[in-house]
Amino acid sequence: MAVGQTPMQPGLLSSTVGFCEDRLAPNSIYAVLHRECRALFPDEMFADLFAADGRRSVPPMIVAVVMVLQRLEGLSDREAVDRFAFDVRWKYAAGGLDFDHPGFVHTVLVDMRARLAASDRPDRIFERTVEVARRAGLVGRRRVLDSAPIYDAVATQDTITLIRSAIRALLRAADHVLRAGLRAVISSGDDYTGTGKPVIDWSDAAEREALVDSRAKDGYAMLGVLDGRTLEPEVSRAAWLLATVLGQDLDRDQEDGVFRIARKVAGDRVISTVDPQARHGHKTVRRSFDGYKGHLAEDPDSEIITATVVSAGNVGDAEPAAGLLADLLRSRAEVGQAEVYGDACRVRKLSRQG
């Protein structure tokens, strides 16, 4: 698929420009995008995402404008393409297209996000917006930093569920020959096909202890089978996950050799095999969550966000500060001191880094 080109000269009588320009405030997002869209998102900025020949894509500038408006208005992909098809303000924002300019299916947005994510510059739309705002003098030398929890969509798993899920993932990743070798060392009698917990008397401490010990020994036996082998990437990732959940949650008694749940909580504990990067975090002493943290830097005058980063939930608010302020830190020696606003934790972190 080759990159499409946005029409440069809309129809004289069918353009949305004459209809919208007197009806929309000059500072509305539709008017701003109409004036700046070709500078912000020129089609050639996305040329590396497409082949040199083939069927023409929907012009990337149009898709980029739709993606921006979609985020601002909190719409789904289907809602966004419907809005573009029937709301003249959206066509006006995309360079003043004709009233009858054809729409496109929602999968175009899915495809564009996938192409951007796989590219060398996945954040180019955001980066370009900040670059144009900086050239326009809207980004100064002051920043406000903030962070907020991003809640994970998967459930936190207990130790038994973590171990059994990690073992199932390893069995799924292995080919039939390796899978047979892994199953041969299972001693607990668990077939690891179901997601439910084994049926035991959960009020009996001895049964709970035996369950943990037997599944841990299955896991370590499987890792022993893999030791020294050259593994496929998927198998290697599954083995790493199994080793991680076994090591973080269990201690082995030196006297009787029984694996028991550790009394301490690992500092970087994996909380789910469905999303191994999610972590248990605290926004405050009393407010906890499971998932990630979103961090941002903002110009306090224009309220333009200049940098963003997503971290694991257990990362401190101050740790991403240097990255969020990279544009200021690079130019501080040339331009002078910058002003940054944040809490005491961030100030101490930045002070230590000079």
> How do residues 45-102 score in pLDDT, each as one tens digit?
999 999 888 888 999 999 999 999 999 999 999 999 999 999 999 999 999 999 999 9
How much is the pLDDT for 172?
96
pLDDT band at 9 (very low <50, low <70, confident <90, very high): low
Mean pLDDT of all residues in the chain?
A: 90
How much is the pLDDT for 353?
57
Share of residues in the chain with pLDDT > 70 (%): 92
Helix, strand, coil percent values for the chain (each to nearest 5):
45, 15, 40
pLDDT at 333 over 60: no
> How do residues 214-256 score in pLDDT, each as one tens digit?
999 999 999 999 999 999 999 999 999 999 999 999 999 888 8
pLDDT at 3 over 70: yes
pLDDT at 207 over 60: yes
Contact 10, 98 (CB under 8 A): yes
**Biggest alpha carbon distance in the chain?**
88
Measure the N-to-C terminal CA separation of the chain; round to a whole number of Å. 49
Contact 185, 225 (CB under 8 A): yes
The separation between CA 28 and the C-alpha centre of its own chain, rounded to angstroms, equals: 29
pLDDT at 354 over 80: no
Contact 215, 186 (CB under 8 A): no
* Residue corresponding to tokens 């404008």: 65
Contact 184, 324 (CB under 8 A): no
pLDDT at 347 over 80: no
Question: Average pLDDT in the 275-302 region?
Answer: 91
